[in-house]
Chain A
Amino acid sequence: MSRPAIEMAPPTDAAPDARPPAVVVEGLQRRFGDIEAVRGIDFEVKSGEIFGFLGPNGAGKSTTIKILCTLLAPSGGRASVAGHDVVTDRDEVRRHIGLVFQDTTLDDYLSAEQNLRFHAELYGLPRAAIAPRLREVMELCGLWERRGSLVGTFSGGMKRRLEIARGLMHAPRVLFLDEPTIGLDPQTRSSIWRYIRELKQREDITIFLTTHYMDEAESCDRIAIIDAGRLVALDTPEALKARVGKDRVQIRTDDDAAASVALAQRFGVTGAVHDGVLTFAVASGEQFVPRLFAELGVAIRSISVSRPSLDDVFMSFTGSTIRDAEATSVDHMRNVARAMTGRRPS
């Protein structure tokens, strides 16, 4: 299949992309021993979109991405990337994808340029194309000036950008970013996102990323929420928020337990206490506040009302905040880790 030139106009939201989907997943499963890390998920990623895979640590994000990148075989179901099956057509998939892992896979003892040249040679790019492409991706990631420096001298953010540049070297159809901003400070995180958005403008590419940061998920065209190995929601961030439709109210009280009980009895609303804050969702928050003060019967020290965020979306689909989900999934994660290293849980 021929590809349009890289300079094509960025895909607009108005015109649906008529090209075949970049990623198709059907009934995908993956077990590690007795543990089901991915329990049968289905979704499609459209060509040219930024697709976010959102969920707490241990929800099955990395397992799914590894299957899509041909690094892990599924236990059941099928998946194809850029039209090629990840099991039967592994090499074809690898030729069409770029990968950026959570952990760095750069050679610290080579310069930035040498790392990219290594990649270009390994992927067998036409010799004449290497130098111009090298410059292009390094400029895109803001590293052209530092091309001669040893990677060992780079900061964490620069290394991540260099990995993105390297993942783009061979002009992949789909770029996979597994937690591209994990372990970076907020400023570096936002700069990585600036590069990701610019990348979408300049290259004809589909971006598939995983994250457990809600604010980052907002920047995606569509997001899939995964929890405990199951897909619980998939839509644009706006549509997901509209589906929740409720405002979030957070109150601090003198007695959270009594306030929770009162809330349930008098208003029929269930709240969750986290860090001394009682959080619950109601249809129209501003009108609810005067009633709350009048009828709760527990002293309220402070109150805040906010429009639904993706945090609320996550909460409404999974029944817990992403932080709580992470706390409970730690055990699950440990089991998965044990299963992956082949050790039996003791």
Chain B
Amino acid sequence: MKHLIVSCAALLASTNVCAQSQNEWIALRQLAASVMRVQAIVDGKASNASGVALTPHKLPRRGQVS
């Protein structure tokens, strides 16, 4: 239970919904690692959205911009 509370607190730092079980939290944490922020410039303004790749890619090294 203590682990779950700590886990939820950590998750709340970056998300808006807390999982209802430790398994659910683990699942959400894994899934969140596959979603990224997408930004495009539309009519001169930044348009923000989300995205998830369909297929495997080689991960760049930390901080690398490719």
Does B bind A? no
Q: B interface vs A, CB < 8 Å?
A: none
Q: A interface vs B, CB < 8 Å?
A: none
